[in-house]
Structure formats: structure tokens, C-alpha cells
Amino acid sequence: MLKDLFRKQRKYATIPSEQAKKEIPEGIMQKCPRCGTIMITKELEKNLKVCKSCGYHYSLSAPERIQSLVDEGRFFEYDADMLSEDPLHFPDYKKKLKSDIEKTNLKEAVVTGEGTIGGFPAVIGVMDSRFRMGSMGSVVGEKIARAAEKAATKGYPFILFSASGGARMQEGVLSLMQMAKTSAALEKLHRAKVLFVSVLTNPTTGGVSASFSSLGDINIAEPGALIGFAGRRVIEQTVRQKLPEDFQTSEFLLKHGQLDQVVPRHELRETLIRILEFHAYGREPQ
Ligand SMILES: [Zn+2]
């Protein structure tokens, strides 16, 4: 009887301690995937999630990105309740969407809306790689196209942050159609003579890199971001050549003329303000 009691107690004792072992270090500390430096999560967040030793840029969620960008955190979201359907009845797609909605507290992989940056109004879109790897399904494409149209109507510059694994396989060809739809909306923006700034973050690949994220009047990337269409292995096998080590990084693309600038996260807000100011046609900030 006494033995049983002890055994039960031990069982109760081991469960929380095992959980604690896993959860506490992950929550409080973060280990840099590039240089291995351990930083306290709060400090890392204060540093805009950039490693203090090697400058590695951790991913930012859409809410974190918006917070770091707009004046006083004020942001007015568009199409906040638009939800994905499962048009192809792809196995488990609905279940996966539901679990990502719960995990991220977002409805889809992009957040769009408007706010001011340094007093300059802008339409802003931010992809979130935690939601289905930031993949582009019909809703992502629709929200981006609508944001571009809104920017054209209002005459506000459009700033779009990409972070994406590419097209969303669960929506098949409908997903690929978003490349054309978003590109067409950006063409309208271009004809309305409204500025479009594309900011590519880690990773921007597949159909996203091959559509709207490469169509900026100004294309900026964060340092060390993986940017490309197909994966390295696929290309190496196709061209039968070894690719350079820094292939498909921001720095490589800048060197080869595919980007205008690589901007560290700490300088991004100021850089965007300068660009907005330069393109404000003499308008005073609000
Ligand atoms: Zn590091």
C-alpha cells in the first residue's frame, strides 16, 4: 500500500519534470542555427531577432514584422476573415489549415492592411512562414492582389514582405494561377504609377519568387536569405554542374543584378522611410 503511494508520486513527479526539460530552455533561450550562440529569447526579440554574434536573421512572424515597421504599432488589417477552402478535397488539407490557424492565431499565410511608416501611409503585406510554410494558395493570392488594387486606388505605395516555400500543393493549379493574378494586379499598380517595394526574406522560393516578389520597382532582401525558384539539387542535376556555395543567397543575387539592395533588419525601417520619402512627390508626411 505504502509502496503504491510512492510509485504513484514518482509518476506524477516525472511528467512535469520531463516537460520542463524540453520546454523551458526552448522558451527562455534560443540557439543560433548558424553559429550556435545561445541568446535569451527576450534579448533576441529586443534585437529584432538578429543573432548578436553572427548577424543571423531569425524568421519574424507577420505580427512581429508589422510591429517592427509601422508607427506606434498601428495597423488596419484588410480581409482579416478570408479563409481557405479545400477545392480539390486534398487529404488532410482542412485539418492542416485548422491546426495552423490555432498555432499561429492567423487565418492565412499573409496579412495585408495599411499603416504609416515614418508618417508616410503605405499598404503593407507580410507573409508568415509558420502558416503552411508561407505557401501561396488562393487566399494568399487574392489578399495580395486586393492589397495591390487598394494601393492603386488610394495612391499609397505597396510594400510586400515575402517568406514562402512557393505555391501551395494542396490547391494544385489554382495555386499556380495566383502567380498570374498577383502579377496582373501589380501591373495595374504600375500603370497607376504607384510604387511597389518587394522585401524578400528567408526563404522566398518557388512560385512566389517567380511572381510578385521579383516584380518590385525596388527589390530588397534581408541578409543571408534563401531566394530562388527550384532547389539547388534539382538545378545541379539539370545543368550537370556544381553550383557556387553562396548560390541563391541575397548576396549572390545582389552581385548578379537581381536585387537592388541587401538591408540588415535594423536598417530596414529607416531604409523604407527614405524610399517612401523619395517617392512622395513632395507630399508632407501625415
Ligand atoms: Zn549566430
Q: Indicate whether 182 belongs to any domain.
A: yes
DSSP 187-251: HHHHHTT--EEEEEEEEEEHHHHTTGGG--SEEEE-TT-BEESS-HHHHHHHHTSPPPTTTTBHH
Domain that holds residue 136: 59-278
- What pLDDT is recorded for position 19? 47
Task: Answer whether residue 187 is part of any domain.
Answer: yes
Predicted structure pTM score: 0.88
User: What is the distance between the alpha carbons of residues 42 and 220, in angstroms, rounded to a whole number?
Assistant: 27
- pLDDT tens-digit profile of 53-90? 999 999 999 999 999 999 999 999 999 999 999 999 99
Domain presence at residue 286: no
For 188, the grid coordinates are: 495595374
Which residue positions form the known binding site for Zn(2+)? 32, 35, 51, 54
Inside any domain, residue 250: yes
Task: Tell me the binding residues.
Answer: 32, 35, 51, 54
Number of domains into which the chain is organized: 1
121: in domain: yes
* 14 in any annotated domain: no
Cα 53 to averaged position of ligand 1 atoms, centre (Å): 5
Specify which residues 76 forms β-bridges with: 114
Q: Please give the distance, rounded to the nearest whole angstrom, from the Cα atom of residue 36 to the centre of ligand 1.
A: 6
Q: Residue 112's domain is classified under what CATH number?
A: 3.90.226.10
In a domain, 235, yes or no: yes
- pLDDT (tens digit per residue) in 180-226: 999 999 999 999 999 999 999 999 999 999 999 999 999 999 999 99
Q: How far is the CA of 76 from the centre of ligand 1 (A)?
A: 34
User: Does the residue 86 lie in any domain?
Assistant: yes
24 CA → ligand 1 middle, Å = 21
Distance CA 256, CA 263 (A): 16
Which tens digit of pLDDT belongs to each residue from 88-97? 999 999 999 9
pLDDT bin (cut points 50, 70, 90) of residue 283 is low
Spatial contact of 168 and 205, defined as CB atoms under 8 Å apart: no
pLDDT at 179 over 50: yes
